[in-house]
Each structure stands twice: as C-alpha cells, then as structure tokens.
Amino acid sequence: MEQLHPKITDSSPSRFIGESAVPQGPTNPGKRYAVSSPFLHKKQRRHFMLYDVLPAIGTLFAIWYCAAHPLTKLDCSLFLLMWCLTGFSLSVGFHRHFCHRSFKAHPGVRIAFVVFGCMAARSSMITWASQHRRHHQLADHDGDAHSPNLSGDGARGRLKGWTHAHFTWMWRHEYPNIVYYGSDLIQDKRVMRVDRYYSLWILVGLVVPAALGALLSLSWQGAFTGFLWGGVVRLFVVGQQISALNSLNHMVGTRPFKMSDNKSHNNALFGWLTWGEGWHNNHHAISSSASFSFRWYQVDPGYWLIRALQALGLVWDVQIADRERVLSLQKKLEEQTSRASVGQPGKFVADRVK
C-alpha cells in the first residue's frame, strides 16, 4: 500500500539525519515510502509473539522461579553483561551511528554493533534504522508508526495512544521502504551481509548466557538460569525500555525545545535507564549530535561509550551540538512561539541550525 505524506520531499539520506528543515511536500507522488501487506503483517505478528509476548511470560516465570531458586551473582552478572552489549549497541550503534550517522566507526565496530544490536530482537539494523528515520520525518503525524499522540485527547485517548506506542503498533504496521530510507546503509555490503542473519543473532544472544552460565557454574542449573536471566528476561527488559522511549518520552517530561512538529520530551529517569536516550527532546531538536546531553547534569552513558571508543581510535568524526548551536535553536524556537502567540505564523525551524 502506498503511503504518501505532505512532510516527505526527497530521498537524500540527509533528510533523516537531522541537518535539514522539516519536509513540506512530496516531489515524487509515485514513490512508495512504506508498504503494507498481509504477508508482512503475518511476519510482524509472529515477531511480536516470539520476542515480546513470550519474553514477558518468561519473565513472570523467572520471578516465580526465584522463590525456589534465588538469584545468584552469576545470574545478575549475565543479565548485566547482555543488557549492556545489546542495549548500548541499539543506542550507540543502531541509533546514533547507523541511523543518524553522528560518528564514523571502524568496520569491526560496525559489525559488532549489528551483531549485538540484533540480539536485542527489536528488528534488523536496516529495518530499525529505516523505521526510525521515518519516525523522525513524520514524528507525531500520520505515518509515524508508534506515536502515542494520534488517538485523541483526554485520559481515554492518552491511554489508547500509550498502549499503541508501547505495544500494539508492533502487531501490525507499515514497513518502511529501506531503499528510500536506508539508501546509504545498504551500500555497505559487509554490514548488510551480517544483518541478514538477524534471527541467528537472536538465538546466539540466548545461547551465549546459557553457555557462560554452564561454564562458570559447572552445572545445568547455571545454564538454565543464565538462559533465563541473561536471555529471556534481558530481552523483555530491553524491549520495554525501547518501547518506553516510543511512548512515554513523547508524553511525559520537559520540553526545553518546544518544537511544533513533534511532542518529544526529556525524562531524567530514562536518561539513566536507557543508555542516555531519555533526553529525547534534545535528540529530536538536534538529532545529528552523538551526545544527547546538552547540560552538565544530563547523564548520557551512550556518549561515554562513544568517547571511550574514540580514545581507542575505533570511532572518529564525532558530531556534537555545541552550546552556541543549542542556544541558537532555542532562541529561534522561542521567536516562533512568540509570533504564534500573537497570531503571526512562522516557518518551523527544525535542527535545523546549520
């Protein structure tokens, strides 16, 4: 099914990286920006059941299992290890590197990001990046697959919107045209070759903690609890964290950048819990920045990892929003708000500060 939207204008990768103003009108009305079919919906439902519903059930079982077999230090260590590997690969790799190209990386680092990011079971890198670029282009407008703000006003509308953004959008949604949204990404044949083994990497992400649990405890019990906590529970927790960014971070928090085209929020709690991703309003304002922290008190562990990799010479050309750029954008947004308050429409300024 063809999906056109008045905010889509061209197919250059820069449209999705944060260096351009919000698109205003389609230049190619015949282009398919997203597709929808019964075949895709069937795969989406299967993915949701396998990697969202089953981990939720498994987590409930793990909590019940703790009554007879309390958590061990090894269980906690395996959970933390796999949570770090998969979560930081989503935040730093899938999001900041592949989607927004906020820094360049050694080929080995790029492959590691793909492998560990796929273990999170949030979708393959090319699908995730394409979907996220579409989200930035259409944020909180028709065509944004997981906006919580398109279901009406009032408590009922907000609850319905949160449920959609946090859960049900994954059951059935349009699939982004990866040739359009990921034209730059598919040119890296080595990365795409690794990304094709998405399902295999998910399986490896379940086997590795089980194997480590067995080797370090020398027991089948260690293998089972390693699989349970480092695999199943970790899948559930990481999935909920990503879903919270889609839902709650477009509903609750502060908005230092009062952009008129999206309702993104900063949330300090999620700043800590989601690898620095909680500074979501900052990110939507200047999405090309590798750091989502624009103030000294805004914690961004994902950027700490980028700095560490930079010190090792594994990443370079790290893009940062300096204070002048941040203040310039805030001033332009304030001027826009002021004009709107007196009935003078102003052209929206997105990230927009060159």
The answer to whether residue 151 scores a pLDDT higher than 50 is yes
The answer to whether residue 321 scores a pLDDT higher than 70 is yes
| Contact between residue 202 and residue 119 where contact means Cβ atoms under 8 Å apart | yes
> What six digits make up the tokens of 167?
């859960």
Runs of H (alpha helix) within the chain: 38-48, 54-65, 73-88, 107-118, 125-138, 154-166, 178-181, 189-195, 198-217, 220-225, 234-247, 268-273, 280-285, 301-311, 323-341
Average pLDDT over residues 228-250: 97
Instruction: Please tell me the distance from the alpha carbon of residue 127 to that of residue 129, in angstroms, as a whole number.
Output: 6
Chain centre distance of CA 50: 19
Q: What is the pLDDT of residue 31?
A: 64
78: nearest Cα among 239, 203, 235: 235
Average pLDDT over residues 328-343: 74
Q: Is 175 helix (H, G, I), strand (E, B) or coil?
A: strand
Predicted confidence (pLDDT) per residue in 303-320, tens digit: 999 999 999 999 999 999
Instruction: Please tell me the distance from the alpha carbon of residue 201 to that of residue 198, in angstroms, as a whole number.
Output: 5
Q: What is the pLDDT of residue 3?
A: 35
The answer to whether residue 25 scores a pLDDT higher than 80 is no
Average pLDDT over residues 311-337: 90
* Residue 14, CB-side half-sphere exposure with 13 Å CA sphere: 6
DSSP letter at 146 equals T
Predicted confidence (pLDDT) per residue in 115-138, tens digit: 999 999 999 999 999 999 999 999
- DSSP symbols for 3-39: ---TT-----GGGGTTSSPPP-S-S-TT--SEE--HH
Banded model confidence at residue 352, pLDDT cuts 50, 70, 90: very low
